[in-house]
Structure 1
Amino acid sequence: MFHLGLIINPLAGLGGTLALKGSDGVAEQALALGAEPQAAVRTRQALELLLPLLEQIEFLTFPGPMGADLLASMGFAHRVLAEKHAGPTSAADTRAAVQELQAAGCALLLFAGGDGTARDVCAVVREGQPVLGIPAGVKIHSGVYAISPRAAGELARQLIEGGLVRLTSGEVRDLDEQALREGRVAARWYGELTVPEPGQYMQHVKQAGMESEELVLNDLADWLSDSWEADVRYVFGPGSTLHGLAQNLGLQTTLLGVDVIENGQVIGRDLTEAQLFALVDGHPAYLLVTAIGGQGHILGRGNQQISPRVVRCIGPERLRVVATKRKLGTLAGRPLLVDSGDPQLDDSFPDAVRVWAGYKEELLYPLGYTTGESRS
């Protein structure tokens, strides 16, 4: 099963038809004046595109109008992560929901609302957590929403079906609604979120012919050299992709070994599991691995030095796959695979992982089991 998070702000958009210039602070007034809630309607339009994938999806969501009611009516499998409480939902509910969804490990967090909802998500979301807004509010100035509910559904569908979905940064901006009601426009920047955008790289690669691995690795080396984090240890797994990346960085690593780089220098070469664990234990680190072309394994094939305790020490969320779009294309939409030898660890990975595929180019790609069993 592919796990999607869903948060609906039931109050989003209530003030639109009544010319209230938004919904913040006026939801009760809008309802009293006869406003019809639209957030669930807009979310349904997005989720209708996922109905053909009904057997492949489980949603993680929240009680009643925050998601559970709509999912039940549409027949989607879903898990409710909190108890229902009396009264209307609030910004605090949205923020708590984001934190619970992250703890549950959802691959993509869908939220329906407007700029105020985006602000609430941005306030507590973990850096790098992929999210996508379903536009349901009065004002949508933030660059974290799809252009329409159906566009949001299409992006989610592409991801679940194994399409190459690129990640980018989207700005969260919001207007001061009270100032707007007084005839003044006062906008403010609140941060950025990691959002998917249409890549359609599979077709592009086929049309353009050969994608040069050498050029891509050179681009990735430029990106990495510009963005090394000081005093953070980067574990390079085995394989020609990561070996070539290191060479483009001017570093001598081992082709079939595991190496560690810190502050632009190799501090450990061709390490055993015990040596690797000693270097990452208690130190911030990233784990860089590549995929076996045509097969898709990223852990458990030729890199057993990266043991379950090493992965846990670094953190599954700090894993990055380095692979060209051409290599991912050899999978024909099949997921990447983990087979660490520890089923509990395998189950702790998200349903999609971040792939470095070019200069400042990240993709979100599905992750699965070697057994082909459903994840629960």
Structure 2
Amino acid sequence: MRIGVVVNPIAGMGGRVGLKGTDGKVDEARARGARERAPGRAVEALSALRAAATDDLTVFTAAGDLGEAECAEAGLDAAVVYRPNDDADSPGDTTAADTRAAVRAFLDEGVDLVFFVGGDGTAVDVAETINDAGSDVPMLGVPAGVKIYSSVFGVTPKDAGRIAATFDRVADREVNDIDEDAYRGGEVHTELKAVVRVPVADAVQSSKQVGGGTVESLAGGFASEADPDVTYVLGPGSTVGAIKRQLGFEPSPLGVDVWRDGEVLVRDGTEAEILAALGDRNEVVVSPIGGQGFIFGRGNHQISPDVIRQSTVTVVASREKLDGVGVLRVDTDDEAVDESLRGWQKVRVGRYEHRLLKVV
């Protein structure tokens, strides 16, 4: 097995600081106190790959934080086949062009898989480079971006690493991306960017579905039971957005809002702003992503492990959305928090009705 590993070190930086993406926003993310997320997830995935791989494994990568450092930390002996430039000493000095150049170098080495760490934008860079080269080499992603609409990622970093080491067949999957500026303005416009070959496994996530069912009765029931002594951390999406309107305010576009006793404490909050607004009793309200089932770790990184640890969690969803989900998923970057969330979760689907769904 010959695997090419490339890491987008800035992927996901905009999540916890409320930017809903990092494209063109790296400096602003850093100014808000954002920290690199992708390198740690890369090490987690590469460690799983190393544990699951046979002795017959050859790894190619790019210099520095584009993969070399993460491979070394995971205990993988990797050959560096691409170096950006002598001045690229920090993650901010690398670009999408470096990702594409690294993938071309991997193809020249005859790899069996391109293993990348990033989000949908990185997936587009990898997929288009493979397709432009006329190659049918498969690709597999470690999810590290803010929003993950493409069906080319492992469900978690560990899943991705195990799949990369053990897959034996591939199938065509879609690479999708959205306009981040429109997304920040509350509009979701997905665009099919490429169709590529991806390893087949249960732990490769589905593409994200947009839209849901009628949620008016659900939202009305929730609002009628709101406790004035509870601080509500209300996640993004149309379902929770309906609850916000029932509580008497217009939701921020695809953002996280904090509300207590008739007052909006935070609009479109960052992790730090949400933490500062928490009270003695806190409740996080989220809805799963249609088609994927994620309640944490996709599109709502502002609701961080520190926020979750200080809160109870309520999950709401339309019946139609749950019919297409099967299980709920979590991926918070904190294994202890993930484990605390796993098990059976009651999901509110109507004014009074609930369903039980398992969190995995």
**TM-score after normalising by structure 2:** 0.51
In structure 2, what is the equivalent of residue 20 of structure 1? 19
1:5, distance to aligned residue in structure 2 (A): 0.5
In structure 2, what is the equivalent of residue 78 of structure 1? 78
In structure 1, what is the equivalent of residue 195 of structure 2? 192
Match runs of 1:350-365 below 5 Å: none
1:68, distance to aligned residue in structure 2 (A): 0.4
In structure 2, what is the equivalent of residue 173 of structure 1? 176
Give the letter aligned to residue 116 of structure 2: F
Give the letter aligned to residue 141 of structure 2: G
- What secondary structure does 2:117 align onto? strand
Indicate conservation of the 8 Å contact 2:14/2:25, yes or no. yes
Indicate conservation of the 8 Å contact 2:111/2:137, yes or no. no
Match runs of 1:221-236 below 5 Å: none
In structure 2, what is the equivalent of residue 247 of structure 1? none
In structure 2, what is the equivalent of residue 58 of structure 1? 58
Match runs of 1:106-121 below 5 Å: 106-121=111-126
Q: What's the CA shift string for 1:270-327, capped at 9, x where partnerless? A: xxxxxxxxxxxxxxxxxxxxxxxxxxxxxxxxxxxxxxxxxxxxxxxxxxxxxxxxxx
In structure 2, what is the equivalent of residue 158 of structure 1? 166
Residue identity over aligned pairs, in percent, reads 38
In structure 2, what is the equivalent of residue 137 of structure 1? 145
- What secondary structure does 1:56 align onto? coil
- What secondary structure does 1:81 align onto? strand
Q: What's the CA shift string for 1:63-120, capped at 9, x where partnerless? A: 0000001112222111001234224111111111111110111111100000000111
- Residue 94 (str. 1) matches residue 99 (str. 2): yes
1:198, distance to aligned residue in structure 2 (A): 2.0
In structure 2, what is the equivalent of residue 7 of structure 1? 6
The 1-side partners of 2:71 and 2:200 are apart by: 24
The 1-side partners of 2:100 and 2:174 are apart by: 18
> Residues 140 and 185 from structure 1, CA distance in 2 versus in 1: closer, same or farther, beyond 3 angstroms?
same
Indicate conservation of the 8 Å contact 2:118/2:143, yes or no. yes
Indicate conservation of the 8 Å contact 2:19/2:184, yes or no. yes
Q: What's the CA shift string for 1:157-207, capped at 9, x where partnerless? A: 214xxxxx221111011110001111221111111111001289xxxxxxx
Indicate conservation of the 8 Å contact 1:57/1:77, yes or no. no
In structure 1, what is the equivalent of residue 136 of structure 2? 128
- What secondary structure does 2:140 align onto? strand
Give the letter aligned to residue 22 of structure 1: G
Give the letter aligned to residue 99 of structure 2: T
Report the structure number with the largest CA radius of gyration: 1
In structure 1, what is the equivalent of residue 110 of structure 2? 105
Q: What's the CA shift string for 1:189-246, capped at 9, x where partnerless? A: 111111001289xxxxxxxxxxxxxxxxxxxxxxxxxxxxxxxxxxxxxxxxxxxxxx
- What secondary structure does 1:41 align onto? helix
The 1-side partners of 2:58 and 2:137 are apart by: 18
**TM-score after normalising by structure 1:** 0.49
The 2-side partners of 1:46 and 1:69 are apart by: 13
Give the letter aligned to residue 186 of structure 1: H
In structure 2, what is the equivalent of residue 47 of structure 1? 46
Instruction: Return 5+ residue gaps in structure 1 as ranges.
Output: 160-164, 201-376
Give the letter aligned to residue 197 of structure 2: T
The 1-side partners of 2:202 and 2:152 are apart by: 16
Give the letter aligned to residue 121 of structure 2: G
- What secondary structure does 1:123 align onto? helix
In structure 1, what is the equivalent of residue 68 of structure 2? 68
Give the letter aligned to residue 72 of structure 2: A
Count of paired positions: 194
Give the letter aligned to residue 30 of structure 1: A
- What secondary structure does 2:21 align onto? coil
The 1-side partners of 2:54 and 2:36 are apart by: 26
In structure 2, what is the equivalent of residue 337 of structure 1? none
Give the letter aligned to residue 101 of structure 1: F
The 2-side partners of 1:199 and 1:147 are apart by: 9
Indicate conservation of the 8 Å contact 2:43/2:70, yes or no. yes
1:55, distance to aligned residue in structure 2 (A): 4.3
The 2-side partners of 1:197 and 1:55 are apart by: 22
1:34, distance to aligned residue in structure 2 (A): 1.4
Q: What's the CA shift string for 1:120-172, capped at 9, x where partnerless? A: 1122104411110111100100011111111111112214xxxxx22111101
The 1-side partners of 2:26 and 2:173 are apart by: 27
